[in-house]
């Protein structure tokens, strides 16, 4: 089976211009003995908004890999695919994130739910999961309820998995199942039931993305109860170890944290958990690189700064449309958004400081950052004019893209990647 390494980071690259700058962060980490597998991920939604296609992602990645002589693993992730969107990704991806969040809660046939519960008597009662202080207490009725809520979605995951399997053949792709884009978080007990059901579907799951407690807004820090998150995260890790043994799932199965960029306040708890347990982790980032692209444009001054301001001004006008598809994952305070004519007077340093995710700085503006996060459609509409300027401002952009991934993400999150290891 094609196996995903213990630590991996999903690097989104909206306009397929930053693969080399992104890979550079992994090269620098590897030089210090920290092995993190780069995975270039892009969703159907991003492709449609940008006007790109799956073959562009692998082409950009291959070019970067050759240029930097990267001789370790790397992958291309067809992110958040469904039965109706998977096909065009299949020839160009070796990692598939099967998204069944929309199927959660759809009713599975009652007889199937009963058969599932009968098949899994071990799930009802006191389930002793090593690593969780108290046993998970569930009744047969609980398992039935959870089964009714998730079984349809799990079957759907099986259908999508088998479609990929039939087209690609066995063993040459990595499978993730994601359930994060939904309203309520999954508890560790629910995760356990879901894993049992996914194993029944014979999906060789290597990563699973539950919805965690708290808000994972795009491009900004975690908003929620960090202590509660830490407990839940550790319980989820214990459930995964248990399910791997109990149900014969791949032993590298690990958690995948979606919208994982910029969640600085939970990186220390996650790092502690990984250190303590030896568990792996997949962290998905997407828009954080595109924001660094804008920061780099602004820092280049001149036309670059002009275009960054123009994109902001147009994003402001089109805010409602841009935010609509992301409503559940952004929290913009319109009162905190500076008017376009004010921003027009800003220096490069002012623009960069407002946008760059440095929570210590008083001039950092999370509302402006989130608006620009969803504003990539504005840049996409500028087409070649945007891309040409990005290429012209390559030096300032690459510095920001590499630095962001390495300093604020890889170093902060992965054990063995303590900052002193890099000095």
Footprint of Zn ion on this chain (CB under 5 A)? 180, 258
User: Smaller CB distance to Zn ion: residue 208 or 291?
Assistant: 208
Pick from 145, 147, 122: nearest CA to 135: 122
Distances (CA, A) of 26 to 71, 96, 136, 183: 12, 21, 39, 33
Q: How far is the CB of 146 from Zn ion (least distance, A)?
A: 22
Q: How far is the CB of 163 from Zn ion (least distance, A)?
A: 20
Residue nearest to Zn ion (CB): 258
Dist CA 90 CA 324 (whole Å) = 29
User: Smaller CB distance to Zn ion: residue 258 or 356?
Assistant: 258
Q: How far is the CB of 329 from Zn ion (least distance, A)?
A: 9
Contact in structure between 150 and 210 (CB atoms under 8 Å): no
Q: How far is the CB of 95 from Zn ion (least distance, A)?
A: 13
Q: How far is the CB of 157 from Zn ion (least distance, A)?
A: 14
**213-247 exposure pattern, b = at least 16 Cβ within 10 A, e = fewer:** bbbbbbbbbbebeeeebbbbbbbbbbbbbbbbebb
Dist CA 75 CA 149 (whole Å) = 32
Pick from 192, 299, 253, 305: nearest CA to 1: 253
User: Smaller CB distance to Zn ion: residue 81 or 146?
Assistant: 81
User: Smaller CB distance to Zn ion: residue 236 or 310?
Assistant: 236
Query: 223 pairs with which residues across the strands?
Result: 215
Pick from 352, 350, 334: nearest CA to 342: 350
User: Smaller CB distance to Zn ion: residue 37 or 285?
Assistant: 285
Q: How far is the CB of 356 from Zn ion (least distance, A)?
A: 24
User: Smaller CB distance to Zn ion: residue 39 or 295?
Assistant: 39
Query: 215 pairs with which residues across the strands?
Result: 223
């Amino acid at each position: 089976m094609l196996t995903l390494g213990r630590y991996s980071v999903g690097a989104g690259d909206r306009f397929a211009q930053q693969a080399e700058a992104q890979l550079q962060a992994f090269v620098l980490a590897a030089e210090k003995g920290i092995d993190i597998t780069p995975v270039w991920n892009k969703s159907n939604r991003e492709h449609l908004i940008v006007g790109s296609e799956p073959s562009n992602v692998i082409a950009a990645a291959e070019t970067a890999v050759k240029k930097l002589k990267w001789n370790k693993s790397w992958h291309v992730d067809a992110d958040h695919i469904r039965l109706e969107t998977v096909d065009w990704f299949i020839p160009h991806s070796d990692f598939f994130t099967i998204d069944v969040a929309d199927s959660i809660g759809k009713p599975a046939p009652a007889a199937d739910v009963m058969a599932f519960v009968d098949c899994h008597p071990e799930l009802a009662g006191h389930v002793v999961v090593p690593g969780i202080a108290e046993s998970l207490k569930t009744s047969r009725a609980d398992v039935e309820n959870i089964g009714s809520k998730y079984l349809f979605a799990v079957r759907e995951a099986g259908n999508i998995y088998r479609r990929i399997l039939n087209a690609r053949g066995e063993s040459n792709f990595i499978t993730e199942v994601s359930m994060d884009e939904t309203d309520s978080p999954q508890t560790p007990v629910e995760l356990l039931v879901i894993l049992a059901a996914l194993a029944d579907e014979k999906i060789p799951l290597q990563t699973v993305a539950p919805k965690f407690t708290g808000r994972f807004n795009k491009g900004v820090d975690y908003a929620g109860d960090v202590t509660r998150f830490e407990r839940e995260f550790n319980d989820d890790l214990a459930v995964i170890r248990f399910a791997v043994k109990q149900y014969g799932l791949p032993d590298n199965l690990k958690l995948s944290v979606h919208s994982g960029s910029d969640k600085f306040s939970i990186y220390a708890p996650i790092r502690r958990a990984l250190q303590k347990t030896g568990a792996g982790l997949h962290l998905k980032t997407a828009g954080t690189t595109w924001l660094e692209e804008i920061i780099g444009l602004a820092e280049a001054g001149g036309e670059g700064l002009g275009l960054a301001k123009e994109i902001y001004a147009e994003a402001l006008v089109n805010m409602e449309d841009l935010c609509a598809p992301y409503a559940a994952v952004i929290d913009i305070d319109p009162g905190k958004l500076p008017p376009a004519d004010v921003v027009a007077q800003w220096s490069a340093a002012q623009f960069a400081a407002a946008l760059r995710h440095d929570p210590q700085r008083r001039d950092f503006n999370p509302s402006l950052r989130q608006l620009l996060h969803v504003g990539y459609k504005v840049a996409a509409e500028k087409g070649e004019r945007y891309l040409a300027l990005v290429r012209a401002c390559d030096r300032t952009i690459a510095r920001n893209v590499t630095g962001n991934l390495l300093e604020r993400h890889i170093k902060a999150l992965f054990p063995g990647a303590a900052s002193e290891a890099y000095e």
